[in-house]
Structure 1
Amino acid sequence: MRASAAAHARWAKVSDRVAETAPARRASLDRFERQVDPDGVLAPEERARRAASARKAYFHALALKSAKARRRGPRSATNQSPTW
């Protein structure tokens, strides 16, 4: 609860959310570029194309995992405890 309140208070003071989150977006894109071209030998256009595909594959896999979890239904008191 405390962390959530602090996060909301922080974002209430930010005037340009796009600029504020730009470093995180860049880091995310860089991660996929390093994944598809760890040695940095591809042309920038090819690296960007492959990174975009790797990013799509990652988010599709997350969506599939989420769909499977929803299909299993809500946890009951007898089911396993949360993993966080």
Structure 2
Amino acid sequence: MAILIVFFGVSILNKLNTIEQQLTGTKKITLEKKQNEFDDSLLREEVRQLLLEGKKIKAVKRVRERTGISLVEAKQYVDQFEL
């Protein structure tokens, strides 16, 4: 009986791991799609202007609003425009 419980437990953990890997892949695809949906040139210009005005936090916020990406990803996006 205990062997069956252990077997089913391991089986469930394997299935959960597979599902987690699939969700991670789906999340990456969704993020790439979101990044491609917005007009990159307009956003770039807006980010550059906000950085010239010393408004880095507002630039990061604007990127997040327009793209739906995470805070870390938005900050990395803005950082590439800094001199």
Higher Rg: 2
Q: What interval of TM-score do these two structures reach, taking the shorter chain for normalisation?
A: 0.3 to 0.5
TM-score by length of 2: 0.40
